[in-house]
Amino acid sequence: MEYVHPHPPEALVHGPEHAAEAPAREERRLELAAVLLLAIATLATAWCGYQAAGWSGDLSERFASAATVRMQAVQSSTQAGQLRIDDLLYFDGWLEAHRAGNEQLASIYRRRFRPEFVPAFEAWIAQRPFTNPQAIAGPLYMPEYHSAEQDRSKELHVAADEHYAHGTSAKLYADRYILATVFMAAVLFFAGISLRLDWRPLRLAVLGMACFLLAGGGAYVLTLPLA
């Protein structure tokens, strides 16, 4: 007895070409999606590497500037200390000459006072230190005593701290861009391996993982500043 299909297969109705057309179209779409993911991830990896290199360069420049400025600050501080010693020596010489009653020698020392030291000395004299027990011990302890080199040293230390802080931030951003390249490398791996898979559910899962990593990595990169 001849057997008749109640529902003829699609291949018998439309031919084998039509039956294979739908799966082939789906395969091409999956391949296209994988290729697009590979292209986007490749560009993103290159961009993250470029930004990481830029921040690394800024890091080196900032740390070098911090070291240079810090050295200048130390030099200014050393110079300020040397000038303070000079002020102390000339003042001690004046004081000894004044106590000995040698006003000529005291006048010589007085003329050798630095301009920065003179306001503090005059303010100290105005206290009548030889008769006033409440007078400040010496001109170097007066509020009027200032050192331009010491002030410059403080400013340079602040500038060095700023350079160092910027360098630390640059290092942080460089590390974060390098981390972003890990995301993109994972996208490249999953998108590339999907082209080698024949089982469609697994292929879709791998492509979905690649899309998820690309979206997460892209969102992370958008939060980072540019070099």
What would the pLDDT profile of 194-216 be if each residue is shown by its tens digit? 888 888 889 999 999 999 999 99
What pTM, to 2 d.p., does this model score?
0.72
Whole-number pLDDT of residue 35 = 93
pLDDT at 23 over 80: no
Whole-number pLDDT of residue 7 = 47
Whole-number pLDDT of residue 166 = 96
Q: Tell me the pLDDT band of 1, cut-offs 50, 70 and 90.
A: very low
Q: Tell me the pLDDT band of 22, cut-offs 50, 70 and 90.
A: low
Average pLDDT rounded to a whole number, residues 176-202: 91
Q: Looking at the domain assignment, is residue 73 inside a domain?
A: yes
Q: Looking at the domain assignment, is residue 181 inside a domain?
A: yes
Q: Looking at the domain assignment, is residue 91 inside a domain?
A: yes
| pLDDT tens digits, one per residue of 108-165 | 999 999 999 999 999 999 999 988 989 898 999 999 998 999 999 999 999 999 999 9
Provide the number of structural domains found in the chain: 1
Whole-number pLDDT of residue 46 = 94
What domain range includes position 54?
Answer: 30-222
Q: Looking at the domain assignment, is residue 128 inside a domain?
A: yes
Q: Looking at the domain assignment, is residue 166 inside a domain?
A: yes
Whole-number pLDDT of residue 200 = 87
Q: Looking at the domain assignment, is residue 6 inside a domain?
A: no
Q: What is the mean pLDDT of the chain?
A: 88
Q: Looking at the domain assignment, is residue 19 inside a domain?
A: no
Q: Looking at the domain assignment, is residue 77 inside a domain?
A: yes
Question: Cβ(178)–Cβ(52) under 8 Å?
Answer: yes
What percent of the chain has a predicted confidence (pLDDT) above 70?
90
